[in-house]
Amino acid sequence: MAILPVIKLGHSSLRKRAEEITVFDDELRALADNMVETMRLNDGIGLAGPQVNILKRIFVIDLNVLDETQEAKAYINPEIVDSEGSEKMEEGCLSIPFVRADVSRPDVLTVRYQDLDGKDHEEKMDELLSRVFQHELDHLNGVMFIDHLSLIQRKLLEPKLKRIREENSLS
């Protein structure tokens, strides 16, 4: 397995829409394994393709830190079919280090995705899994959690965000 470099706010790939995946092969499985390894090394619980500069509609989630029976899972071409409720919770992001903020999101989702073999799945999820799914899906659409913040919240974080952008805009 290989550790992939995690790109940071300011890198143009984080603002692009990722492309659908149509080939389900060993290369895709290796990418998912590398993403899981990278996410774990960086103490994350989710990581999307664009965060490792791969503009493909894939992300991985690992809730093992909360429940040791959970295994890391790859979600290919994911989408939200339905959502309900609303919950505010603090979020952070490997691509925006040392920045955390409260974000409101639906708390119950019905989602569709494909697994690494291309098999279709539909699943209902809630709580942390629902939140991480939405956060990572945003990455596939060029959206970051800071985009969900109020103008006041963004203003308060702007000095940190500006520093991260400036350090990474050359990428």
Q: Which pLDDT tens digit goes with each residue over 33-75?
A: 999 999 999 999 999 999 999 999 999 999 877 677 788 999 9
Convert the pLDDT of each residue in 101-130 to its tens digit: 999 999 999 999 999 999 999 999 999 999
Rounded Cα distance, 112 and 48, in Å: 16
Which structural domain, as residue segments, surrounds residue 76? 12-168
Q: Is 1 a member of any domain? A: no
Over 80: is that where the pLDDT of 168 sits?
Answer: no
**Residue 4 covered by a domain:** no
Average pLDDT over the chain, rounded to whole?
94
Pair 109, 134: CB distance under 8 Å = yes
Strands 108-114 and 96-105: unpaired
Asked if residue 5 is part of any domain, the answer here is no
What amino acid positions are annotated as catalytic residues?
136
Q: Can you give the pLDDT at residue 64?
A: 79
Q: Percentage of the chain surpassing pLDDT 70?
A: 97
CATH number of the domain bearing residue 112: 3.90.45.10
CA–CA dist 120, 171 (Å, integer): 35
Number of domains composing the chain:
1
Distances (CA, A) of 163 to 10, 13, 42: 10, 18, 20
Residues 103-139: b if buried by 16+ CB within 10 A, e if exposed: bebbbebebebbebeeeeeeeebeebbbbbbbbbbbb
Q: Is residue 104 part of a domain?
A: yes
Q: What percent of the chain has pLDDT over 90?
A: 89
Do residues 78 and 59 make contact, with C-beta atoms less than 8 angstroms apart? yes
Q: List CB contacts of 151: < 8 A, sequence separation 6 or more.
A: none
Rama region for 62: left / alpha / beta (φ>0; ψ in -120 to 50; rest): beta
Please indicate, yes or no, whether the overall pTM of this predicted structure exceeds 0.85: yes
- pLDDT, position 171: 45
Q: What span, in angstroms and rounded, lies between the C-alpha atoms of 8 and 146?
A: 13
Pick the closest to residue 11 from 59, 55, 51, 58 (CA basis): 51
DSSP letter assigned to residue 111: E
The answer on pLDDT for 136 being more than 60 is: yes
Residue 170 has pLDDT above 60, yes or no: no
Is residue 3 in some structural domain?
Answer: no
Q: Is residue 101 part of a domain?
A: yes
